[in-house]
Structure 1
Amino acid sequence: MEIIQFFVDLLSDPRGAIAGWIMTLGPIWVYTPLFLIVFVETGLVFFPFLPGDSLLFAAGVFSAPGGGLHVGVTWLVFVVAAILGNTSNYWIARLFGSRIIDSGKVKALTPERMAKLDHFFEKYGGLTIVITRFMPFFRTFAPFIAGTGHMNFAKFTLFNAIGGISWVSLFVFVGYFFGGIPFVQEHFEVIVLGIVAVSVAPAVIGAVKAAMSSRKSKGEAADGAAQGQEATSSDKASRGKHAK
């Protein structure tokens, strides 16, 4: 139960979690849980629910002068964690991907998400690794799918580095430069929820479009089948008249 409560607290209040680590672990060891959370979220397909964007933003806020963290160290720790996490995910997929998928133990690896990521790889290629960095859940699964055969390691490493640096830089430096504004301090929880909502929005919009497209295709197929049946019935009736 304690581990569950830990994740609940972390998801609901990343700022409070970081503040507690600074006080209990000190200015050096505080970077350990920050590294591990980002590494595990990006490196293991079993933990896509861990906070990414909100944690980076909150750490950026604490990296401002007087916050307890150093912005350069924070940035470097997160970049290394993000790149190594994706690399780990890639090689897990390379070695055990088919077994993990076939086992069905990773419930989050739904056929819908797999199909969506396949579409991303077909449309954007290596840029998928960069794009999905900014999409919760999908950033955990994209390197896994890449490792199952969509991309060679050299190409993956290039886009992995670009995506990791871009993702970390955006959220850490936004938190660093704007986290000290009184409005941000007073409405921190709402802003964090907004960040998560904006991050999830592309995936939600894509899912809605896919669902609408699927319904439209099914409707067109049904209409085509109905027209075919009508044509067949009409043809049979016409033949019957000629036979008489």
Structure 2
Amino acid sequence: MLRTAGVGMSVSDELVGLLGDVGVVLFYLIVWGLVFAGTALFVGIFVPFVTGDSLLFASGLIAASASGIDIWILAIGTGIAAFLGDQVGFLIGRRYGRPYLDKRGGARTQKAIAKTEWFYNTFGWWSVVIARFVPWGRVFVPVIAGFGKMAYMRFITANLVGALAWGVGITVIGYFAASIPGVKAGSYVIAGIVITASIIAGIRAWRADRAERAEETLRASVAGTHTSEG
């Protein structure tokens, strides 16, 4: 932080310190918000990397080099955000059922949903834990578990284990990776590259999905025209 030592700290120093604190809080909130939105708001469909492993690892790297960021507040908060995001996904699945996923994205997304559904039916409880480390899996498994009638307490236990292993675990790994010679010095650069690449990949996925859905709409329109002419 940017605080100066001493009893006679000036008002300006206090304001600088306050701004430093707000910056740290904002950092926490951005990381936690992205993790939560990745599953709860389906943001992870289009930006699986910037809401997933890359974000957690990069935030750990930054925490190791930036002043004022507490790794345990960051990591535990990330685990809580991940847990709550999956809880929302589960409740959405329980409330709206399979039709909710039928409306998500184009053919590519639907293929990913079908694979995830098979994954859930095959591994059950463990699928909720393992899916944390699979970009598409962590978005869809909670919803599938919801309409798949997994017992609520059973889902909570799997969700808790997954949130701890993934949310807390990867963030802390990123933090300690900064102690490796050469990594700490370039941690901001590494984190910036990871996040930038993730955003670019997410934008490309979003554009591809939009183009795919537009093409499917056009095909359906043409098919409807041919049917009416026949």
Is the shorter-chain TM-score for this pair beyond 0.5, marking a shared fold? Answer: yes
Residue type at the aligned position of 1:138: G
Measured in 2, the distance between the counterparts of 1:146 and 1:109 equals: 21
Residues 1:108 and 1:150: Cα distance change in structure 2 (over 3 Å): farther
Match of 2:190 among 185, 188, 193: 188
User: Where does residue 200 of structure 1 map in the other structure?
Assistant: none
Cα offsets for 1:76-124 (capped at 9, x unmatched): 110110000000011111112334234x343377342233223222321
1:26 shift after superposition? 1.7
Residues 1:135 and 1:105: Cα distance change in structure 2 (over 3 Å): closer
Please say if residues 36 and 81 of structure 2, whose CA atoms lie closer than 8 Å, have aligned partners that are also in contact: yes
Measured in 2, the distance between the counterparts of 1:25 and 1:107 equals: 40
Q: TM-score w.r.t. structure 2 length?
A: 0.65
Q: Describe how 1:76-155 pairs up with structure 2 within 5 A.
A: 76-102=76-102, 104-107=103-106, 110-155=109-154
Residues 1:123 and 1:100: Cα distance change in structure 2 (over 3 Å): closer
1:176 shift after superposition? 0.8
Q: TM-score w.r.t. structure 1 length?
A: 0.62
User: Where does residue 3 of structure 1 map in the other structure?
Assistant: none
User: Where does residue 34 of structure 2 map in the other structure?
Assistant: 37
Measured in 1, the distance between the counterparts of 2:132 and 2:160 equals: 11
Residues 1:80 and 1:97: Cα distance change in structure 2 (over 3 Å): same
User: Where does residue 216 of structure 1 map in the other structure?
Assistant: none
User: Where does residue 160 of structure 1 map in the other structure?
Assistant: 159
The answer for unaligned runs of 5 or more in structure 2 is 1-18, 199-230
Measured in 2, the distance between the counterparts of 1:173 and 1:46 equals: 24
Residues 1:36 and 1:46: Cα distance change in structure 2 (over 3 Å): closer
Measured in 1, the distance between the counterparts of 2:83 and 2:74 equals: 14
1:67 shift after superposition? 4.0
Residue type at the aligned position of 1:106: G
Counting matched residue pairs gives 173
Measured in 2, the distance between the counterparts of 1:174 and 1:78 equals: 13
Residue type at the aligned position of 1:27: V
Measured in 1, the distance between the counterparts of 2:112 and 2:146 equals: 16
More off after superposition, 89-98 vs 62-71: 62-71
Cα offsets for 1:142-172 (capped at 9, x unmatched): 1111111251211111000000100023311
Residue type at the aligned position of 2:74: T
Residues 1:45 and 1:107: Cα distance change in structure 2 (over 3 Å): farther
Secondary structure, counterpart of 2:106 in structure 1: coil
Secondary structure, counterpart of 1:30 in structure 2: helix
Measured in 2, the distance between the counterparts of 1:168 and 1:40 equals: 14
Measured in 2, the distance between the counterparts of 1:114 and 1:121 equals: 10
Residues 1:85 and 1:108: Cα distance change in structure 2 (over 3 Å): farther
1:33 shift after superposition? 1.4
Instruction: Please provide the CA RMSD for this pair.
Output: 2.9
Measured in 2, the distance between the counterparts of 1:189 and 1:32 equals: 17
Secondary structure, counterpart of 2:135 in structure 1: coil
Q: Which has the higher contact order (CA 8 A, sep 6+)?
A: 2
User: Where does residue 75 of structure 1 map in the other structure?
Assistant: 75
Task: Report which of the two structures shows the higher radius of gyration computed on alpha carbons.
Answer: 1
Measured in 1, the distance between the counterparts of 2:40 and 2:118 equals: 22
Measured in 1, the distance between the counterparts of 2:36 and 2:57 equals: 16
